[in-house]
Structure 1
Amino acid sequence: MNNAPGLLLTILAFLAVIGPLVFVHEMGHYLVGRWFGVKAEVFSIGFGREIFGFTDRLGTRWKFGWLPLGGYVRFAGDMNPASQPDPAWMLLPAEERNRTFQSKSVGRRALIVAAGPLTNFLFAILIIAGFVLVQGQPSTAPIAGKIMAGSPAEQAGFASGDVVKRVDGQAIASFAALTSYVRSRPDTPITADVARGGEEIAIRVTPRAVPAVDQQGQPVKMGMLGISGQTEPVGPLTALRLGAQQSWYIVRIMADGLGEILTGSRSAQELGGPLRIAQASGQMAADGLGPFAFFIALISINLGFINLLPVPMLDGGHLLFYALEAVRRKPVAPQVQEWAFRSGLLLLLGLMLFATFNDLSAFGLWRGLSGLIG
């Protein structure tokens, strides 16, 4: 965990995270759009001037832009950010017009738009499910799995497979109960009665105090023995269920965090941008393939969550207007949509600048500049 990534690894890791996730997101839009018979004119990874690309036999231009911080699919008839058709759209031949985005029902347009973030969620679920399938799910039984080298547990004589029956005379029914008891007793000697090889032995051990934060975000000390629980093998369906549960748990954490920032109970300086994502990408890549893959799943969930927010310019903004169209039985006035999407663009640009400012602050840039000026 202490491997320090170099600049080149950080850049490559960031591109290895953002590029595939943008591709997955846009591929969701693309596949559902093609399923409904909509022609895709452009599939772009990155923005700005095209670096290279090709046109397939269906007339879609697949290209890479020079700024790899996003991407888009442009469907026929989708002429602007508010997805309003050009006046020339009505002059198209009926067959060609039927292959445009605007010719589809509001329900199908909503499905095409929602497919992007939903594909990000599905991608994350598959990654997490893959981990569970390979590693198994944690066992609830109070059985020692791996013993960390140099840990208090190893020094006290714990062994893999030990079944913890009691701690300080208190019955232990689950590994979670053992963890909870130990965490609340940093630097406090405890006695664990464990079953091993048909006999029961008592082990005296002192949990090591490690820094942590409580639910209010205050620094505390937490007890740690250095024992991980055992895992149980699972089948593909159970792995998918656990992957979905873990993904939903992460979404809830993100929603709670955003709510706390909006209400002022958490600092807005916690909002990170692409620089901190790049830094974390490099660190996870340096830590190994496993942490890096899980980080990709986390960012994929983040990308899906953010895109579903009801902000114009994001997929959630489009879905909001489609919901209003379904209720009103007619589209929202073009002028209102245009105003909303221009405002949404300004909001997103402002948030991007603010997040980048936070990133630079976290890296100590402003402190360094103030020191030079002073």
Structure 2
Amino acid sequence: MSYLVAVIILLGVLIFIHELGHFLIAKKFNIKVEVFSLGFGPKIFKWKGKETEYCLSIVPFGGYVKMLGEDSTAKLPPEERHRSFSHAEPYKRFLIVAAGPVSNLILAFFIFAAIPLIGEPKVSSYIADVTPNSAAWMAGFRPADKITDINNTAVNTFEDMFKLIQKSDGEKLTTSVKRGNQTERIEFTPVLKTRENEFGEPETSYTIEGLSAMAPLPIVGISNPRSLAASMGFKTGDQILSVNGVPLQSWPILREYLKNIAQSDLEFKVKSKEDTYDIDLNLPPKFFKLQPGAKLEYIGLHSSELFINEVIPDTPAFMAGLKAGDRIISINGNQIQNWDEFRLQVQGWDKKNPLAVQAERNGSIESFTIVPRLEEHRVPVVGKLPKDQFRIGAVSEVKFAPQDMYTFYAYNPITLIKYGAEKSWYWFYMTFESLIKLITGKVPLQQLGGPIFIGSLAGSSFNQGLYYFLRIMAIISVNLGFLNLLPIPVLDGGHLTFFGYEMIRRKPPSQKLQMAAQQVGIMLLLALMVLVLFNDIHRYWGNFRDIISRLFS
């Protein structure tokens, strides 16, 4: 039921504001408004005002304002013509029609401007993990560091940090890092890297490899039953809560703690699926002579994220012989540090040679030759994406530690206005760019979403909290305003085109031209509606019944 409530609130607000824009400007110019309706079709509620009938109709995907004389061919009594829409000056008709989409853009601006008042949650500049031997690692960054400034510019979030890095033009940067009670200074030089942008296109920007705001929980995996860890009672799936009384929030913190440990007696507090218990471990002298990277291997403790939780039948991994419980070690000779790295290696397969995967099973190193295959890509909320991905059918159950968050607040009116304007412009531009890429074929038409997609976004954001719901409402409001300004007959933008023509030529387009354009517009609109509905059903086909049940649950 929460999904249905979310859809009703979101669409209700957007449609009401859109139609209110038309209504208010019509009233401003003394144009008689006969009907103000939220929704289409049969009326489920109506109230007659002084001269306007206000109603709520059964189909919620739209609304309308009916004005006197919208049909320019209709005959009106002479005493009413001054209040007729079709008899109003072209500029007045232009402003009345433009007021709808402009109201949606104004609404988006005010929503965005209000967000800092309630607080915008952002990922803080806390470094949850640093990939060993990466550029960030070699520069001196370590897990649990917190970046406070870059080149003396304050940094509170990961977003702040990477914006400054991207603007560096490859120049050396100096950052202050809070590490425990100490402050460290670290120098590093960003390098150009190519990644996919929001449209799946390659985009090059400056970055530093190896920093992550996410880290897995300290859940262990045991791949060698003869290891020291196994002999002391550790089992795959155990979560280490603390070592020698030091609480552990994530696997990287455990990893670094054990690498740098100086004492031989360790007391682990461990949580299994059934119970919480202690494990005492005495490290032999040999442990302290090992290189830091070999210490965890010696104990036999590994992060559970590199353990296969499930192998889907009849997939490349299944046919190659991988099994649940195997620990991934390397792919094509490259040691794998985390599951995301493994996933990206599979997705980036060059199609030339099969993947050579090494895994540990019961203490023995096994080799597998795997040919990935293309499969449809589904993600939560969004459903099926148009771009398929290479996969092998091996699944890991990675559980991440809660991210360290920073809540951005602002109360200064100038800051709020600037924030609202920047966000509104960003999403307006993104909508424009998306349209261009759809027209040029760089973004497939399958990426368009319809009412089910909007409902899924509304419902999931509603359940996440007020910030997320308002943000989605503002983004969709920008989309609605932009699309209604396009010069497509039937839409507001089509009418604006005709009124603009009339203002320039001092005469309206011919009725024949207008009728032909209206027919083309209706056909385009119907085709678009069929396309987005088809996309929605195809996108959610695997969990279509689940979406419907969630709407009414």
Instruction: Tell me the TM-score normalised to structure 1 length.
Output: 0.77
Are the equivalent residues in 2 in contact too, given 1:145–1:228 (CA < 8 A)?
yes
Of 39, 46, 53, 2:39 maps to 46
**Corresponding residue of 1:99:** 83
Query: Secondary structure of the residue that 1:103 maps to in structure 2?
Result: coil
**Corresponding residue of 1:25:** 18
**Corresponding residue of 1:163:** 148
Unpaired runs of at least 5, structure 1: 1-7, 139-143, 166-170, 184-190, 204-211, 369-374
Any idea what the Cα deviations from partners look like across 1:225-263, whole Å, max 9, x if unmatched? 356668573522331232122111111111111111111
Cα distance in 2 for residues equivalent to 1:93 and 1:72: 26
* Corresponding letter in the other structure for 1:72: Y
Of 474, 479, 483, 1:302 maps to 479
How far is the alpha carbon of 1:101 from its aligned partner?
0.7
Query: Secondary structure of the residue that 2:83 maps to in structure 1?
Result: coil
Query: Secondary structure of the residue that 2:526 maps to in structure 1?
Result: helix
**Corresponding residue of 2:96:** 112
Query: Secondary structure of the residue that 2:449 maps to in structure 1?
Result: coil
Cα distance in 1 for residues equivalent to 2:160 and 2:20: 44
Are the equivalent residues in 2 in contact too, given 1:136–1:233 (CA < 8 A)?
no
Any idea what the Cα deviations from partners look like across 1:172-200, whole Å, max 9, x if unmatched? 756467336999xxxxxxx9742689963
**Corresponding residue of 1:247:** 424
Task: Give the structure, 1 or 2, with the largest relative contact order (CA under 8 Å, sep 6 or more).
Answer: 1
Structure whose residues are more often strand by fraction: 2
Paired residues in the alignment total 324
Matched, 1:224 2:212: yes
Quickly say closer, same or farther: Cα 1:78–1:287, change in 2 above 3 A.
same
* Corresponding letter in the other structure for 1:115: A
Quickly say closer, same or farther: Cα 1:353–1:163, change in 2 above 3 A.
same
Query: Secondary structure of the residue that 2:431 maps to in structure 1?
Result: helix
Cα distance in 2 for residues equivalent to 1:126 and 1:180: 25
How far is the alpha carbon of 1:9 from its aligned partner?
2.0
* Corresponding letter in the other structure for 2:525: L
Cα distance in 2 for residues equivalent to 1:358 and 1:108: 39
* Corresponding letter in the other structure for 1:152: D
**Corresponding residue of 1:188:** none
Query: Secondary structure of the residue that 1:338 maps to in structure 2?
Result: helix
Matched, 1:325 2:502: yes
Larger Rg over CA atoms: 2
Structure whose residues are more often helix by fraction: 1
Cα distance in 2 for residues equivalent to 1:283 and 1:100: 44
Query: Secondary structure of the residue that 1:51 maps to in structure 2?
Result: strand
Are the equivalent residues in 2 in contact too, given 1:194–1:201 (CA < 8 A)?
yes
Any idea what the Cα deviations from partners look like across 1:18-62, whole Å, max 9, x if unmatched? 1111010000000000000001000011111111110112x1000
How far is the alpha carbon of 1:215 from its aligned partner?
6.0
Cα distance in 1 for residues equivalent to 2:210 and 2:433: 24
1:1-374 → structure 2 map (5 Å cutoff): 8-57=1-50, 59-79=51-71, 84-86=72-74, 88-89=75-76, 92-94=77-79, 96-135=80-119, 147=126, 151-152=128-129, 156-158=143-145, 163-164=148-149, 173=153, 175=155, 178-179=161-162, 193-194=176-177, 200-201=183-184, 213-214=196-197, 217=200, 223-225=211-213, 231=408, 233-364=410-541
**Larger mean Cα displacement after TM superposition, 220-229 or 242-251:** 220-229
Query: Secondary structure of the residue that 2:86 maps to in structure 1?
Result: helix
Quickly say closer, same or farther: Cα 1:129–1:104, change in 2 above 3 A.
same
Quickly say closer, same or farther: Cα 1:70–1:222, change in 2 above 3 A.
farther
Are the equivalent residues in 1 in contact too, given 2:19–2:100 (CA < 8 A)?
yes
How far is the alpha carbon of 1:66 from its aligned partner?
0.9
Are the equivalent residues in 2 in contact too, given 1:163–1:196 (CA < 8 A)?
no
Cα distance in 2 for residues equivalent to 1:146 and 1:223: 10
Are the equivalent residues in 2 in contact too, given 1:145–1:229 (CA < 8 A)?
yes
How far is the alpha carbon of 1:93 from its aligned partner?
2.6
* Corresponding letter in the other structure for 1:224: S
Are the equivalent residues in 1 in contact too, given 2:121–2:406 (CA < 8 A)?
no
Cα distance in 1 for residues equivalent to 2:419 and 2:508: 40
* Root mean square deviation of aligned Cα: 3.5
How far is the alpha carbon of 1:367 from its aligned partner?
11
How far is the alpha carbon of 1:293 from its aligned partner?
1.0
